[in-house]
Amino acid sequence: MAHDHAALLKHIKADMPSDELLQDLGDLFKIFGDTTRIKIMYALYEDEMCVCAIADLLGMTQSAISHQLKVLKAANLVESRREGKTIYYRLADEHVKSIIAQGYEHLTE
């Protein structure tokens, strides 16, 4: 089973984050790994927006958008506030923008 690299592995292993954190990192990026959710986050880039406006913008079902907003909210990527019947969503913090910006750079550099 392969040649010897025990010394190297010991060193690398010491510098790696915990399995739990690595799992959480994967789970976080998984959320960015869907075009619909990317579009939603881009829609909220400059300002808050209500659910049906997002649905209109993306040409998708209100239900589909609502499901995705729930995913985004569970990951603390968006927040919401109610105003009468309408619920407005907005990006939760600057990390959302900077993560997307880094990906954008990688693609367009």
Interacting residues with DNA (CB under 7 A):
2-3, 30, 33-36, 50-52, 60-64, 66-71, 80, 82, 84-88
Cα-based torsion angle of the residue sequence 3, 21, 23, 29 in order, rounded to the nearest 10 degrees: -110
Residue 24 makes contact with its own copies by CB under 8 A: yes
DSSP assigned state of 87: E
Q: Is residue 71 involved in binding its own copies (CB under 8 A)?
A: no
Amino acid in position 61: T
Q: Looking at beta carbons only, is 57 or 79 nearer to its own copies?
A: 57
* Closest CB 64 distance from its own copies, rounded Å: 14
With CA atoms as reference, report the closest residue to 79 among 102, 98, 61, 96: 96
Q: For its own copies, how many residues bind (rule: CB under 8 A)? A: 57
Give the contacts of 31 (CB within 8 A, at least 6 positions apart): 37, 71, 72, 75, 77
Ramachandran angles phi, psi of 83, nearest 5°: -140, 95
Please choose which of its own copies, DNA, none residue 66 contacts, taking the beta carbon within 5 to 8 angstroms, the exact cut-off set by kind.
Answer: DNA
Give contact residues for its own copies (rule: CB under 8 A): 1-3, 5, 8-9, 12-13, 15-17, 21-35, 37-39, 42-43, 45-46, 49-50, 52-53, 55-57, 62, 76, 86, 93, 95-96, 98-100, 102-109
